Amino acid sequence: MNDVAPGLERVKMRFLAMLQDREQQIAQHNLLTRNAKSEVEVTENLSGSRNILHQISGTAGSLGFAELGSFARDCENAIIYCLEQPEGQSVKERDLVLDAIDGFVEDCRNLIAAHE
Amino acid sequence: MQILAVDDDPIILELLKQFIDAIGNHDVTTAESGLEALDVIEAHDPDHFECFLLDIQMPGMDGIELTRQIRGLEQHADTPVLMLTAMTDKRYIDAAFAAGATDYITKPFEVAELTARITLVEGLVQARNSRTKKIFATQSMPEVGNSVAIFEPFSIYDVDNVIDYMAMENYVTQLSRNALFGSTTFAFTIREVQEFHDVMTSFEFYSMVSDIAEVISDTLSGKQYLMSYAGSGTFVCVTESGWRPAVSQLMDAINLSLATTELYDNNGARLQPRVSVGESVRLIWKASTSVLEALGVAHSSAEAAADAHIKAKKNLWTLTEGQTA
């Protein structure tokens, strides 16, 4: 088997570069969800965050960022749970999920800073 | 192997390239969507790709629909399709297997896991290609005998919910790995299958088994299950969503349908196969090795039921002859 390490390092760098863009998108979706005027807007923005978190959770672990990947998966599952609830669900419950996503965004920023 | 990897995440595609390069002896082509993948397949020779790695969840055409489209291409009816998924939702996994997936790999994956799966697939595909060639070689040469051993499983095409036996083994192994419960396994065995096998060509035998699979599939229509041909005239079924069939009634319904279905051999002689059903075995709380053993138990009990039926019939003849003598 060939050495996978040099190639993996390049992929890791690209992941971190993309992570910067992805965490900004998630932060934006989170803000729009908090300020949403309708359930449609909530669903659209939560779905947007879910899709990005899904991508992060699928790759972070393979690149040595298992903790971040696991956090992304937990946030993704929490959003899926929220989206499956009937309209008019507890706002407090949704706010807890949004708080967790804010925490995830912060972890992304810390990880990026640590690798600069 | 020539591998086509399809995922909307460029990082996954790069990872796959790096990992598969590390394995060596394989070339990876990539596509970022289902539609792009179909274009890539069309742009290459029909038998160019020997393995597909497909993400289940993609915007637009998802991996399940892409698998269906790939299976619809004659040259890829047997090509291994490994699904990449971060999902633990059984509905997606069931749908992927029903659409024709061979196995799935959970994201995030490690190079060792990917290597193991690809190496396994490569070996099994070579063995299966050899069997398929034997079956279809006799299609135009009916005088050639049955060159496929009776115990060998083979692929049955275009029958709803019938999947390859290798895919079935992967499916039940994954079921236990993900602690998904509520499934039951049971099996049907064609009675006197050895006699059919002895007098038929490989293609005749293959055709009869496929026809019986279709009858079983039609009888089970509307139920949630997967089935595969496990060799020795036996079909192994795994149910989903907690459905546990009344196997005896099911057997009667299948045999009634077989009785009204006109099946013929190459010489135009009417074939009248019937099946026996074995015990149903719940897969709840079993480890992966035990789940495979459960399939084995279902398989063996169906064969035993078929043997018992033949024996009972013979005993009845003996008794009748004794009374008339």
Which chain B residue is nearest to residue A68, measuring alpha carbons? B108
Mean pLDDT in residue range B205-219: 94
**DSSP state, B79?**
S
Establish whether this prediction's ipTM goes over 0.90: no
pLDDT tens-place string over residues A52-75: 999 999 999 999 999 999 999 999
Which of the two residues, B173 and B295, has the higher pLDDT score? B295
Q: Any chain B CB within 8 A of the CB of A47?
A: no
> For residue A65, what pLDDT is reported?
95
Confirm whether pTM is higher than 0.90. Answer: no
Is A55's CB within 8 Å of B9's CB? yes
Going by C-alpha positions, the residue among A70, A90, A83, A69 that lies closest to residue A29 is A83
Query: Which residues are B277's β-sheet partners?
Result: B188
d(CA A53, CA A75): 7
Is A4's CB within 8 Å of B107's CB? no
d(CA B234, CA B240): 20
Q: How many residues does chain B have?
A: 325
Of B21, B59, B109, the CB nearest to A2: B21
3 state SS of B273: coil
Is B18's CB within 8 Å of A7's CB? yes
Which of the two residues, A109 and B94, has the higher pLDDT score? A109
Residue B87 has pLDDT above 80, yes or no: no
d(CA A53, CA A46): 10
Of A7, A51, A66, the CB nearest to B21: A7
